[in-house]
Amino acid sequence: MATGRDMIDVAGPDGETPLYAAATNGHAGIVDVLLQGGASVNAAKNNGYTPLHAAVSRGHRRIVDALLAKRADVDAVADEGVTPLHLAVSSGKRRLVDALLARGASVNLASDTGATALHMAASAAAANPSAAAASLFTALLARGANVSATAAGGVTPLHLVASAGLRDLVESLVARGAAVNARTRRAGATPLYVAAQSGHGGVVHALLSRRADVDIPSAVGVTPVWVAAQNGHVLVVKALLAKKRAAGSVAAAAAAASAPVPSAGGATPLHAAARGGHDAVINALAAAGAAVNAATVSGGATPLHVAAWHNQVRAADALLARGAAVGAKTAGGWTALHLATGRDFVVMVDELLSVAEPPVDTPGPGGFTALHIAARRGCTSVVDALLTYDAAVGAVAATPADGAITALHVAAAAGFRPIVRALVTAGAPIGAVTAFGTTPLHAAASAGATEVVLDLLTAGARTDAADARGGTPLHAAARGGHIPAATALLAAGASPQVRDAVGVSPLALASARGYAHLALMLQEAAVAAAAAAARAAAGGRRPGGFRAAAGAASSAPGGGGARAGGGGHRPFGRARRLG
């Protein structure tokens, strides 16, 4: 037969007793009645939580006192290793913390993750810094909390308060012997590292005064100096380098300022600062002796290359002022100017060209100059800037696919009319030929860039220029089925009857590739040209060109058929990507 006590402690499916329910919901009077009736003060739910856990988590002070008066287990451990003290500390309930400590709660019990009450107090203070949070933290220290306890991953209370910039708490911990050089297990971060990463100068000074090691790297080889430089914390960088000078020598500080990180391809703190555009950090590192032209192992990039690639103009300015080599090349052969040009960073380009001897015509792979790159990418403003600095408009780049091309060839092939006009105005050679004999007019005609074709014709480009295979610009237009470009060439006097080295005419090309409308137009132009030639011969005169034929051709229907494959040299390959 069930007794009264059995009935008072009857539990639900989850193990919850009446006392637990009353404690959870703050019914102090019912708690008193149940306790007086003999309810089990430590009866736990299935998850290990006792009425004391419940009352503490809800902040019911009177119920906590009543449970403690009945000798509730202050160190009862629930699932995940949680004690009532953990709950009180995490919620910042100082009065409950004091009550539990007064009853002998163990301050160093750890949860399943290894976190002690001090870890939890540190996390609470970091999340909401306040005098109350600091006071609670100090109260645990006064009770003998283990200052070097490690939670999951090797995190100590010192890591937590250092990362949050809580200098007073940092000093309290190190004064009690906290391990200043403790490293987390996975990241390998020390308290100094996390403070430097977040830019907490006061904490950095406090740790350095307790002999924190400036040179201990993270698990991936990043030092406190490097991570502070990456995040732009100039005062922290200066403090760390000053410590190196004080502890060793000027050379030691220079070594720290230049230390490469293997996991980052050998990037130094200067590379990190350049990427973020932190010019003040760059100046501090350079003043300490950092190598401004240090190259990464992975790609041979200097800090100036990094600044150019990320468009960090102020960083580039600082590096140039400190002697960065503007003409230095990456392992792939690119200068900072090439990189900035390829990304259309006109302000950066101007910055790099403002030095005493700008490398405006320095060739990259294949002989590509910055002007070639800008022309190929359609960077009109950059082209204008380069021309302002007297870039060589006739410079030739030799690649297997393109064969000795000028910037005008490149721009014409891409159909970038403003760039073509700028280059022509600057004196680019209209008749320049590649190793395959193609002119800029061939390139424009092949691409069907009619407006560029017209501009080149206006500038004096020859319609009868033949490439290495005897093909004219009209052959190029016919090969691509470009009716408007072919019309413009015919109107300028291009011969519709001309044949290449193997006897193929533009009409034959268009016919072979199925361009019916273009073929009809070329046929009519050829007929008209032949008639004009006959009339000229009959009258004893030389024919006056083929403009009449072009007029007849321009009345032909527009459009073109599907392209046929095979045949003919493509004057330009694909645009090269910067590497």
Angle formed at CA 181 by CA 176 and CA 183, multiple of 5 degrees = 120
506 is written with which tokens? 């533009």
Give me the pLDDT at residue 4, please. 55
Tell me, yes or no, whether 253 lies in a domain. Answer: no
Give me the pLDDT at residue 544, please. 46
Can you give the residue range of the structural domain that contains 3?
A: 1-106
Question: Which string of b and e fits 110-148 if b means at least 16 CB within 10 Å?
Answer: bbeeebbbbbbbbbbbbeebeeebbebbebbbebebbbe
Q: What is the pTM of this model?
A: 0.85
What parts of the chain have a pLDDT lower than 50?
A: 1, 544-579
What phi and psi, each to the nearest 5 degrees, are found at residue 471? -80, 140
Give me the pLDDT at residue 400, please. 66
Give me the pLDDT at residue 548, please. 39
Give me the pLDDT at residue 538, please. 84
Give me the pLDDT at residue 540, please. 58
Tell me, yes or no, whether 88 lies in a domain. Answer: yes
Give me the pLDDT at residue 5, please. 62
Tell me, yes or no, whether 58 lies in a domain. Answer: yes
Tell me, yes or no, whether 551 lies in a domain. Answer: no
Query: Which tens digits make up the pLDDT trace of 397-442?
Result: 976 666 789 999 999 999 999 999 999 999 999 999 999 999 999 9
Give me the pLDDT at residue 1, please. 43
Angle formed at CA 415 by CA 409 and CA 416, multiple of 5 degrees = 90
Tell me, yes or no, whether 78 lies in a domain. Answer: yes
CA distance 389 to 376: 19
CATH number, domain at 89?
1.25.40.20
CA distance 578 to 350: 19
The amino acid occupying position 421 is R
Tell me, yes or no, whether 17 lies in a domain. Answer: yes
CA distance 375 to 414: 8
Angle formed at CA 418 by CA 468 and CA 387, multiple of 5 degrees = 85
Question: How many other CB atoms are found less than 10 A from the CB of residue 1?
Answer: 3
Tell me, yes or no, whether 21 lies in a domain. Answer: yes
Are 468 and 503 contacting, i.e. CB atoms less than 8 angstroms apart?
Answer: no
Give me the pLDDT at residue 541, please. 52
Total residue length of the chain: 579
Query: Which tens digits make up the pLDDT trace of 478-497?
Result: 999 999 999 999 999 999 99
Q: Output the CA torsion sign for 62, 64, 67, 71.
A: negative
Tell me, yes or no, whether 345 lies in a domain. Answer: no
The number of distinct structural domains making up the chain is 1
